[in-house]
């Protein structure tokens, strides 16, 4: 059976961020390749 993954994506006008819901109910932010918690465009 496939594991369900819940993603949150915020595509802001300046910053963008992606996070996911962990099994214990906490949210984990996925860092960018540079190691920051948001991506600047």
What pLDDT sits at residue 34?
Answer: 80
Which residue, chain included where needed, has tokens 């918690």? 37
Residue 39 has pLDDT above 70, yes or no: no
The domain limits of the chain are 7-40
31 Cβ contact partners less than 8 Å away, ≥ 6 residues apart: 37
Per-residue pLDDT at 22: 92
- The three-class DSSP label of residue 22 is coil
pLDDT of 24 reads 93
């Amino acid at each position: 059976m496939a594991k369900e993954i819940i993603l949150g994506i915020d595509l802001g006008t300046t910053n963008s961020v992606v996070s996911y819901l962990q099994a214990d109910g906490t949210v984990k932010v996925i860092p960018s390749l540079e190691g920051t918690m948001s991506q600047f465009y």
